[in-house]
C-alpha cells in the first residue's frame, strides 16, 4: 500500500473489551500527529438522576453502571454516604464487605486475563480459538472466575448487580457454615491462580514503558482495595528503588483531579494536577505491592516483577497481565483468610440516619480508583452526586500510550507498518489497560489517517 496522501481504515468493533468506542489515528510524514480515543456511547446520566433520591438508594442504582464491577460502585457509594452521616462500618461487617469485593476482583480479573487479554499474546483472535490450543488454561481461568462469582452470589444475592448490599452493611449476613463451600472452592482456586501467574509470566512481552504518575489507594500494611487514602507516585519514580509517594486525602480529590470535556468523547477526561496519569493494577502494585499476601508476593517475584518491598515497579503496560494474575492470587488468599476467621456480626447492618452533610469515598475497582461524592439534606434527599470512574481517568494516558506505541513501531526497522498491523497494535495497547468503557460514559471503530 502507499503511505503517501491519506488513507482511512474503519473497523466496526474491537473485540475483547467491555463496551464500544472509536480510535482516530493520524500519521503524517512518519509521525503520529494525533491519537484520540473517542468514547461515543451516550452519556449515562447517573449523577443527574441520583439527585432527589433517598440516601439509601445509591448502592442499588450505581451498581447498574457496570455489570462487571457492580460491587465497586456499591461499596464506594455506601462509604461515601456513611461518611456523610458520620457512621463507621467495621468489624465483621467490614470483613464481609471486603470478602464481597474480593469476589468481584477474582471474577473480573480472571475474565480479563483468560478471555480478553491472553489471546493477544498467543496469537488467537478470541478465547474460543485460544481454548482449542490451551484448553486447560481457559478451563482453569473459568474455575477461578466461578469461585469469584460464588462469593458474590452468597454474599450479594446474585453475581451481577448484587441485591443484598445496603448502606450500613447487608440485608442478610451468612452463617459460618454457609461459607464452608466457598472456602473449598477458593482452595482449589488458589492453586489455579498461582499456576496462572506462572503461565502468563512465560508470555513474550514487547518493550514498552509508562513514565507518568500513578494514582491508587494506599493503606500501609494492606494491599488497598476498600480502605486507605488516595496516593500518587511521581512520574518515572520507582525504577531506582526509591518510591516517593504523596498522600492525596480523599476530601481533596477534586482539587487535584480535574475533569474536562473534550470534543471527541462523551466521557470526561481527567488530569491530575494538570497531567495525565494512570490508575489500575500497575499503580496499585507500585504503591502497595509490598503488602501483597505472602503467596502472591512470592509469585510476583518468581514471575519476574521484582520485589516491591525494595522499590520494584512494573511500568510496562503489556506486563499488566502478570500483575492482574498476581492480584487474583492475592484476592483468593485473602478471601480464604477472611472466611477462616469469620464470626457473624451481631446484626446485619449499622443504622445510618441522615443529616445535612457531604461525604466522599474512594475504593479500588478492578480497573482502578473509583471516587464518589454525595450531598444530602436533613431528610436524606440527595442534592448532589459526583462519580469519577477509572477508565475515564485513564483515557488521556491510554491515548498517550497509543501515540508512543505506534511511533515506536513507525521508527523501528523494516517496512513501514500497514493499517492491519497498526490496528492490531492499537487494540493490544488498549486492552493492556482493560478499559470498561460503559463505566466511563464501548471500542473499536478505528480510523487511520495518513498524510
Q: Is pLDDT at 380 greater than 50 in this prediction?
A: yes
SS3 67: coil
- 218 within 8 A of 288, measured Cβ to Cβ: yes
Q: Is pLDDT at 257 greater than 90 in this prediction?
A: yes
SS3 12: coil
439 is in an annotated binding site: yes
List helix spans (H) across 253-293. Answer: 253-256, 281-288
Q: Among 28-32, 60-64, 262-266, 372-376, where is mean pLDDT lowest?
A: 262-266
387 is in an annotated binding site: yes
- The stretch 142-167 carries a mean pLDDT of 97
Question: What is the model's pLDDT at position 123?
Answer: 92
- 373 within 8 A of 392, measured Cβ to Cβ: no
- 375 within 8 A of 383, measured Cβ to Cβ: yes
442 is in an annotated binding site: yes
Mean of pLDDT over the chain: 89
- Which residues share a beta bridge with 34? 26
151 is in an annotated binding site: no
- The stretch 128-139 carries a mean pLDDT of 95
Question: What is the model's pLDDT at position 18?
Answer: 59
> Cell 486447560 appears where?
136
How far is it, in rounded angstroms, from Cα 381 to Cα 37?
Answer: 37
* Contacts of range 122-126, beta carbons closer than 8 Å, 24 or more positions apart: 122/203, 125/15, 126/15, 126/16
Tens-place pLDDT, residues 218-239? 999 999 999 999 999 998 765 5
- 447 within 8 A of 24, measured Cβ to Cβ: yes
Q: What residues does each domain of the chain span?
A: 6-40+398-432
Q: Is pLDDT at 275 greater than 50 in this prediction?
A: yes
How far is it, in rounded angstroms, from Cα 137 to Cα 139?
Answer: 5
How many helices (H) and strands (E) the chain has is answered by 15, 13
Q: Among 38-42, 71-75, 198-202, 304-308, where is mean pLDDT lowest?
A: 38-42
> Cell 473509583 appears where?
370
- The stretch 110-120 carries a mean pLDDT of 93
How far is it, in rounded angstroms, from Cα 154 to Cα 362?
Answer: 25
pTM listed for this prediction = 0.92
Over pLDDT 70: what percentage of the chain? 90
How far is it, in rounded angstroms, from Cα 53 to Cα 434?
Answer: 32
Instruction: Report the largest interatomic distance among the alpha carbons of the chain, rounded to a whole angstrom.
Output: 72
Tens-place pLDDT, residues 382-430? 999 999 999 889 989 999 998 999 899 888 888 888 888 888 888 889 8
Q: At what angle do helices 176-201 and 135-156 cross, to 10 degrees?
A: 150
More confident residue, 30 or 214: 214
DSSP E strand stretches across 227-367:
229-233, 245-247, 257-260, 269-272, 357-365
How far is it, in rounded angstroms, from Cα 73 to Cα 363?
Answer: 9
426 is in an annotated binding site: no
Question: What is the model's pLDDT at position 148?
Answer: 98
Amino acid at each position: 500500500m502507499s503511505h503517501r496522501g491519506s488513507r482511512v481504515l474503519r473497523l466496526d468493533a474491537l473485540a475483547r473489551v467491555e463496551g464500544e468506542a472509536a480510535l482516530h489515528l493520524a500519521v503524517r510524514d512518519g509521525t503520529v500527529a494525533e491519537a484520540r480515543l473517542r468514547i461515543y456511547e451516550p452519556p449515562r446520566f447517573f449523577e443527574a438522576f441520583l439527585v432527589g433520591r433517598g440516601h439509601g438508594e445509591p448502592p442499588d442504582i450505581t451498581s447498574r453502571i457496570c455489570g462487571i464491577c457492580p460491587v465497586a460502585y456499591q461499596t464506594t457509594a455506601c462509604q461515601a454516604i456513611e461518611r456523610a452521616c458520620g457512621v463507621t462500618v467495621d468489624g465483621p461487617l467490614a470483613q464481609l464487605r471486603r470478602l464481597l469485593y474480593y469476589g468481584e476482583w477474582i471474577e473480573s480479573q480472571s475474565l480479563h486475563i483468560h478471555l480478553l487479554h491472553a489471546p493477544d499474546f498467543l496469537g488467537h483472535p478470541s478465547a474460543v480459538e485460544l481454548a482449542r490450543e490451551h484448553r486447560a488454561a481457559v478451563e482453569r481461568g473459568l474455575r477461578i472466575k466461578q469461585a469469584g462469582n460464588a462469593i458474590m452470589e452468597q454474599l450479594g444475592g446474585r453475581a451481577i448487580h448484587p441485591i443484598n448490599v445496603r448502606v450500613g452493611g447487608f440485608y442478610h449476613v451468612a452463617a459460618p457454615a454457609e461459607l464452608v463451600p466457598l472456602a473449598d472452592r477458593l482452595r482449589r482456586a488458589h492453586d489455579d491462580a498461582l499456576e496462572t501467574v506462572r503461565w502468563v509470566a512465560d508470555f513474550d512481552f514487547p518493550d514498552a514503558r509508562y513514565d507518568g504518575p500513578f494514582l491508587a489507594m494506599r493503606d500501609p500494611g494492606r494491599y488497598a482495595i476498600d480502605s486507605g487514602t488516595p496516593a500518587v507516585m511521581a512520574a518515572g519514580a520507582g525504577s531506582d528503588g526509591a518510591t516517593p509517594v504523596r498522600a492525596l486525602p480523599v476530601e481533596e480529590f477534586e482539587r487535584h483531579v480535574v475533569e474536562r470535556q473534550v470534543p471527541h468523547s462523551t466521557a470526561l477526561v481527567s488530569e491530575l494536577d494538570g497531567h495525565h496519569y494512570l490508575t489500575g493494577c500497575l499503580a496499585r502494585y507500585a504503591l502497595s505491592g509490598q503488602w501483597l499476601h505472602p503467596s502472591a508476593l512470592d509469585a510476583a517475584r518468581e514471575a519476574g516483577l521484582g520485589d516491591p518491598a525494595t522499590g520494584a515497579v512494573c511500568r510496562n503496560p503489556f506486563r499488566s497481565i502478570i500483575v492482574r494474575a498476581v492480584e487474583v492470587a492475592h484476592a483468593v488468599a485473602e478471601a480464604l483468610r477472611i472466611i477462616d476467621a469469620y464470626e457473624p456480626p451481631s446484626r446485619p447492618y449499622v443504622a445510618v440516619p441522615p443529616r445535612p452533610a457531604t461525604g466522599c469515598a474512594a475504593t479500588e475497582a478492578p480497573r482502578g480508583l473509583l471516587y464518589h461524592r454525595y450531598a444530602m439534606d436533613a431528610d436524606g434527599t440527595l442534592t448532589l452526586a459526583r462519580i469519577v470512574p477509572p477508565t475515564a481517568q485513564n483515557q488521556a494516558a491510554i491515548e498517550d500510550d497509543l501515540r508512543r506505541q505506534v511511533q515506536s513501531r513507525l521508527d523501528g526497522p523494516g517496512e513501514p507498518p500497514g493499517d492491519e498491523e497498526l490496528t492490531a497494535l492499537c487494540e493490544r495497547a488498549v486492552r493492556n489497560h482493560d478499559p470498561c468503557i460503559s463505566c466511563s460514559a464501548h471500542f473499536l471503530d478505528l480510523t487511520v489517517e495518513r498524510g
